[in-house]
Amino acid sequence: MPDFLSNLTAEGAGSPSQRCPTGGNGSGAGCVCSWCCCGLLNRILVITFMVILACGVVVGNIITVTVFLRSKQFRTPQGYLKVSLALADMMVGLLVVPFSVYTEVALVRSGALPVWYQGYSATGGSRPWQPCNLIGVVFAGCTFVSISTIFLLTAERSVAILKPLHKGSVITRRRTFLLISVSWVAAFLLATSPLLSSRRFVLEYNECSRMCNYAFVPEASRQPSWSILLLFPAFDFTILGGTLVVNVLSFSSIRRYSRRRKFLAEAESQPGSLRPSFSDIKAAKTIAILTLIFTASFSPVAAFVVGNVLGYRWCNFSFFAFWILASNSCCNVIIYSVRDHRFRKGLHQLFHKTLHPFPKNSC
């Protein structure tokens, strides 16, 4: 994932002049004096935001998974893909964000650097197994899963629109489960590729993004390793570009169909089975909205990567870029609630049965 390119330096830490002193201002030792961590009030606001985000991501995606799995009308290839997307987002809320909360609270309370903090290895400390080796890979892998799942959703809708007669034979549950499994395995293999292919990288808690990111080990040369890290943006932009192309093809077909509908005689002479259904068209528009929102949340990270390659640090910007991307994990349930009437109906049934588990006794 491109966010792992953030703040990569040979020493993995800023100079002492860039750090906040430990003390009553709430800044832990070793922190960079930036908007997110200078002053106790800012620290409390950031931690509060992280806690709210974690709760929103977990609750929203639990609701999404429950609605999709408990209703038979959602047990379709599209529904299973949306469940896969929700599970990837949920892992961000269960592991990635809470770990950042834990680290920030520990820094506020004690001011001592944990072993997974950026730059710890540069001080000569030992390198035991640390939680960032798991958290960082989970964040990268789940982002790759989200990107690939959005592409699969777009491809599934394009088949339903462009080839409605072949939808049932091309898009089967077995193939959908296979593609979901492949996307998860490939995503996490790609996420671990820098660790598996080179010893020049470590996963440490980044002092700017406030997340577990890849960093170069002390005194390691950066240049030979850039080719490995560039796999992340190459994968992201390739998949997003393919998604854009498929969306253009699908909506071009929808536009042509909408023009034909103006001519009633021509529309009536066309067999219904050859026309994409209204639900297919609306679902395609919903997935296009998912794609646009994800691309918008990912764009700040892409801009930061370009700046980082050019040698800019952009510490404050990196914090906003990565947490905007993390905040995208709670957006899908809102989009489904606004765009999908069947999802709204499922929400109503879910909460109605939860609030009224037993029928009222008649008098």
Predicted confidence pLDDT, tens digits, the chain (363 residues): 444 443 443 333 343 334 454 444 434 444 455 666 667 788 889 999 999 999 999 999 999 999 999 888 888 999 999 999 999 999 999 999 999 999 999 888 877 777 777 655 554 445 567 888 899 999 999 999 999 999 999 999 888 888 877 777 888 999 999 999 999 999 999 999 888 877 777 888 888 889 988 776 665 555 555 567 667 777 888 898 888 898 888 888 777 776 666 554 444 555 555 566 667 778 888 888 988 999 888 888 777 766 766 667 788 888 998 999 999 999 999 999 998 888 888 888 888 765 555 454 443
* Helix and strand counts by DSSP (H, E) for the chain: 13, 2
CATH superfamily for 2-347 is: Rhodopsin 7-helix transmembrane proteins (1.20.1070.10)
- As a whole number of angstroms, the distance between CA 183 and CA 185 comes to 6
- As a whole number of angstroms, the distance between CA 50 and CA 271 comes to 53
Strands (E), the chain: 201-205, 212-216
Structure tokens at 288: 């296009």
Global pTM value: 0.81
Contacting residues for 85 by C-beta, under 8 A, at least 6 apart: 145, 146, 149, 150, 153, 332
